Amino acid sequence: MAEESTATAPPELKVDVAALTALLDGKYADVRRTVRELLPSYASVLEDAETMPREEFRERVKEVVLEMAGTGASAMGFPEEYGGGGDIGASIAAFESLAYGDLSVLVKVGVQFGLFGGAILQLGTQRHHDAYLADVVSGRLLGCFAMTETGHGSNVQALGTVATYDPATSEFVVTTPTHEAGKDYIGNAARHARVAVVFAQLEVAGERHGVHALVVPLRDEAGEPLPGVRIEDDGAKMGLNGVDNGRIWFDGVRVPREALLNRFADVTEDGAYVSEIESPGRRFFTMLGTLVQGRVSVGAAGVSAAKVALTIAVRYGLLRRQFETGAEHGGEESGEQLLLDYGLHQRRLFPRLARTYALHFAQEVLAGELHDVFSGVRTDEETRRLLESRAAGTKALTTWHATDVIQECREACGGAGYLAVNRFAALKADTDVFTTFEGDNHVLLQLVGKGLLTDYASEFSDLDQLGMVRFVAGLAVETILERTRVHRLLEQIRDVLPGGGSDEWHTDSGLRDPNYHLAMYRFREEHLIGGVARRLKRGVDSGMNPGEVFSRVQDHVIAAARAHVERLVLEAFVAKVESLPDDDGDLKLTLNLLCDLHALSGIEADRGWFIEHGRLTTQRSKAITREVAELCRRVRPIARELVDAFAVPTSLLRAPALIGDDA
């Protein structure tokens, strides 16, 4: 609990909303603006989601997706020769902006152009591109991405579907061996997909080569399932009911040899399996790695959803008054105080607002890296692996953030927030699965943790969790730490931390120094990684089996991964602030305030850990709590500007009673 600060209040900041929007929009401001201007014409979909029967709504969403395809907004990442925009960064920016609108539309766009089209683009070769991409981009050919099975969601390497090569006919025979091996939750499958990219265990001449992807036709021109294909509707879902998810079983479906998406492996005309990547595990992860764009996109959508929720809640807090206050003593008119003037309300909303800014800039860095890797600007293997790790971890943080922010904002709007006419009902229901699809968040953080512990070594891709346990147990802890990047960063500033060699940080001073924040985040990361490594070694050394060792250390692995991603997020925000000119109005000061609030509320939330590990005194911990409250008070006068800068089109807020007259 914060005690009152005795410092004199600094002058109020002046926020130029347009300038802040331009900063948030960044390099792809034009793309973002175009999509934001496009969205209001589809705003009625938000209402259709409530009122239309499911089948009609699915058709409605399909129409919008096709219209969108007509504008080019949905295919900015495809090569220009197939009608795309040829700019991966732009496609992420467009997707992020699209997430201000109805999320069924967004997810159907993601399924068609990101997952289905992306798999053909990334896993296929020229013959597939020529055969499909122009039709994918235009929306003439709708497809689906058939990876997940009822029995296997996270452990995709263990999928049950089999594609057996028949040399007699030069065909693959695709079969679902058990009910549990049926493809499940597949978007576009229940109604609209004519073809599927199917992930299956490839079997050639009696030998299994791991999971590969093939293009398999599902339906005829009339939309009827083809022979051997059985499709079932997943039915109603918690949200996203404009997307037709379904299940697919294959019974000896034959596709030509050329159906194999053969960028990384192929079967020759004479029936030999060939691949430049020898290790099956590494081959599989290389294939999966090309699909990283999906995770970056979902992460971006999570940030956008949080922005919508915060815009509504902050505007509501500036309209709604509650309970008598001391205002009569100040001579103001109303006897009731604005919700947003309550300290608790500020505490509920502003650290989340600051974190939304932090995650926005973290996404910006991530999208930039994605663009560089997939545009061939950076081609080294290490960069690619760091990108995959960062995408996985950021997706986990942003989607959990979205769930948390939407819930808090709904509660902050009371009963009014519960009515479907406002955005919360749809936002909450539609985003709920973000924490699960494109990789369950805990599983993704586990992946990040594995990468940290193995330093993204080439061994990385081959290691399951047990392999990882054995690998780490075989190394000295110092070796692991020395190889981590954070170790190198930490060395430079270790002495600024309490317990490090200076007492400077024991007091209240320097609480807003970004070097202090970074040192704390980096220390936490390094310490958690070292601790995991030690526990893994100790467990194996004591003779426990690696599965049991992993199970016991699992939450520690995930905490280390989370600390790693939190550090990356903070670094991105600090770097952004530092890059701003000092003389551009209050823009830099404003971002600086939000960055401090984000960093300090993050330390506050984990203060138990920092104190336990000797990096925070109890006095300083209390000082941080006071500071967070003080920073919230400083955010209060500019709160409206900070959400207005997100530039969510007012018609998409759909919250007339919550946001006031100009809705």
The interface with a second copy within residues 287-326 (CB under 8 A) comprises 322-326
- Stretch of 8-16, 24-32, 266-274, 343-351 lying at the interface with a second copy (CB under 8 A): 343-351
Q: Does 601 interact with a second copy (rule: CB under 8 A)?
A: no
- How far apart CA 577 and CA 574 sit, in angstroms, is 5
Report which DSSP code applies to 114.
I
Residues 418-437 within binding reach of a second copy (CB under 8 A): 418-421, 424-425, 428-429, 432-433, 435-437
By beta-carbon proximity to a second copy, the closer residue of 434 and 573 is 434
Q: Smallest distance from the beta carbon of 612 to a second copy, in angstroms?
A: 4
Instruction: Select from 59, 67, 135, 440 the one that contacts a second copy (CB under 8 A).
Output: 440
Smaller CB distance to a second copy: residue 277 or 327?
327
Residues numbered 391-410 forming contacts with a second copy, rule: CB under 8 A: 403, 407, 410
Question: What is the DSSP code (8-state) at residue 238?
Answer: S
Measured from the CB atom, is 228 or 531 closer to a second copy? 531
Quick one: which of 221, 242, 238, 220 has its CA closest to 229? 220
Q: Could you say which residues in the range 236-275 bind a second copy, by CB under 8 A?
A: 236-239
Nearer of residues 238 and 377 to a second copy, judged by Cβ: 238
| Binders of a second copy in range 515-554 (CB under 8 A) | 528, 531-532, 535, 538-539, 542, 545-554
Minimum CB distance to a second copy smaller for 355 or for 556: 556
Tell whether residue 234 is a contact of a second copy (CB under 8 A). yes
Applying CB under 8 A, which of residues 269, 329, 376, 662 lies at the interface with a second copy? 329
* Side chain identity at residue 265, one-letter code: A
**Looking only at residues 548 through 587 of this chain, which bind a second copy when binding is defined by CB under 8 A?**
548-556, 558-559
**C-beta of 122: minimal distance to a second copy in Å?**
23
Q: Which long-range contacts (CB under 8 A, 24 or more apart) does 121-130 make?
A: 121/78, 121/79, 122/263, 122/290, 122/291, 123/197, 123/213, 123/261, 123/263, 123/264, 123/287, 123/290, 124/215, 124/261, 124/262, 124/263, 125/261, 125/262, 125/263, 127/258, 128/215, 128/261, 129/79, 129/82
Please tell me the distance from the alpha carbon of residue 377 to that of residue 527, in angstroms, as a whole number: 34
Chain centroid, CA 173 distance in Å: 35
Q: How far is the CB of 335 from a second copy (least distance, A)?
A: 8
3-state secondary structure of 388: helix
Smallest gap from Cβ 176 to a second copy, in A, equals 16
Query: Could you say which residues in the range 462-501 bind a second copy, by CB under 8 A?
Result: 464-466
Residue among 279, 375, 621, 651 that touches a second copy (CB under 8 A): 621
Size of the site for a second copy (CB under 8 A): 97
Identify which of residues 40 and 656 has a Cβ nearer to a second copy in the complex. Answer: 656
Neighbours of 254 (CB within 10 A): 14
C-beta closer to a second copy: residue 376 or 543: 543
**Running DSSP on this structure, what letter comes out for residue 8?**
P
* Per-residue x/- track, 159-178, a second copy (CB under 8 A): --------------------
Q: Which of residues 96-155 bind a second copy (CB under 8 A)?
A: 148, 150, 153-155
Q: What are the beta bridge partners of residue 211?
A: 201
Residue ranges in 274-380 assigned as alpha helix (H): 280-289, 292-317, 327-330, 343-374
Closer to a second copy by CB, 429 or 481: give it.
429
DSSP-derived letter for residue 10 is P
Adjacent-strand bridge partners of 198: 146, 214
Select from 277, 297, 296, 301 the least CA-distant residue to 287: 277
Smallest distance, a second copy to C-beta of residue 325, A: 4
- Which of 629, 610, 630 is closest to 620 using CA atoms? 610
CB of 464 to a second copy, least distance (A): 5
Give the contact letters, 30-59, x = binds to a second copy (CB under 8 A), - = no. --------------------xx-x------
Amino acid at 447: L
Please report how close the Cβ of residue 94 comes to a second copy at its closest, in angstroms.
Answer: 26
By C-beta, is 482 or 548 nearer to a second copy? 548
Tell me the three state secondary structure of residue 210: strand
Q: Which is nearer to a second copy, 137 or 425 (CB)?
A: 425
Q: CA-to-CA distance for 325 and 316, rounded, in angstroms? A: 18
d(CA 64, CA 14) in angstroms, rounded, equals 40
Backbone angles phi and psi of 146, in degrees to 5:
-100, 85
Stretch of residues binding a second copy (CB under 8 A), selected from 83-91, 232-240, 373-381, 591-599 = 232-240
Look up tokens 């008054």; give the residue. 321
Q: Which is nearer to a second copy, 29 or 338 (CB)?
A: 338
**Contacting residue, 27, 33, 129, 442, with a second copy by CB under 8 A:** 442
C-alpha 529/C-alpha 296 separation (Å) is: 25
Q: Which stretch binds a second copy (CB under 8 A): 20-28, 363-371, 389-397, 604-612?
A: 604-612
| Contact status, residue 466 vs residue 546, Cβ threshold 8 Å | yes
Position 4 contacts a second copy (CB under 8 A): yes
Q: How far apart are CA 381 and CA 635, in angstroms?
A: 43
Q: What DSSP state is assigned to residue 176?
A: -
Among 63, 220, 482, 612, binds a second copy (CB under 8 A): 612
Stretches 77-85, 249-257, 327-335, 572-580: which one binds a second copy (CB under 8 A)?
A: 327-335
Q: Is the dihedral of CA 613, 614, 617, 620 positive or negative?
A: negative
Ranges within 183-212 binding a second copy (CB under 8 A): 184-185
Distance of closest approach, residue 273 Cβ to a second copy, in angstroms: 24
Min CB(327)–a second copy separation in Å: 6
Nearest to 154 by CA among 447, 561, 549: 447
In contact, 635 and 314? CB cutoff 8 Å: no
Residue with smaller CB distance to a second copy, 169 or 418: 418
Tokens of 371: 């663009």
CB contact at 8 A, 653 and 27: no
CA distance 372 to 393: 19
CB of 527 to a second copy, least distance (A): 10
341 binds a second copy (CB under 8 A): yes
Strands 195-204, 162-166: pairing is parallel
Among 414, 474, 501, 637, binds a second copy (CB under 8 A): 414
State which residue, 302 or 417, has the beta carbon closest to a second copy.
417
When the beta carbons of 262 and 454 are compared against a second copy, the nearer one is: 454
Establish if 506 lies at the interface with a second copy (CB under 8 A). no
| Helix, strand, or coil (residue 118) | helix
